[in-house]
Amino acid sequence: MKKYESFINTGLAGSIKNNDPIHNLNEKEFDRSLLKFGALVSMLQNKRINQTNLLILLIEVPEYLKCFQIISEVDNPQMLIYNYIMRYPILCKSKTISQKLKQLFDYE
């Protein structure tokens, strides 16, 4: 792959998304709230928390989901989980996460 090939392949949509200041602000705010919530859960659990364990706790413990919803100022819990998965798409490859998400969203 040539040096500029990946830039050309992103197209206009990728260019607009990367240059949109509102989108960039929303991403930074979500990242900051994710770090704050991860630190809070780490202190409450008294152990280190990675992205996989944090997502599992969000799915299993409704109080954590509600707390993260308040911190991140996202109204819909499904949108909150969606944003989290879009931030870390590799989590969808985990069987445990996939099963928990299917249970949460009632997929067969």
Q: Which of 50, 20, 22, 25 is nearest to 38 (CA)?
A: 50
Q: Any residues with CB less than 8 A from the CB of 54 and at least 6 apart, and which? A: 37, 38, 41
Q: Dump the DSSP string for 79-96.
A: HHHHHHHHH-GGGGG-HH
Q: Is 18 helix (H, G, I), strand (E, B) or coil?
A: helix
Number of Cβ within 10 Å of residue 45's Cβ equals: 13
- Domain with 59 in it: 5-105
What is the number of structural domains in the chain? Answer: 1
CA 5 – CA 71 distance, rounded (Å): 39
Q: Each residue's pLDDT tens digit in the chain (108 positions)?
A: 444 444 444 554 555 556 788 888 888 998 999 999 999 999 999 999 999 899 999 988 999 999 999 999 888 888 898 888 888 888 888 888 888 888 777 765
What's the pLDDT score for residue 35?
92
pTM of the entire predicted model: 0.73
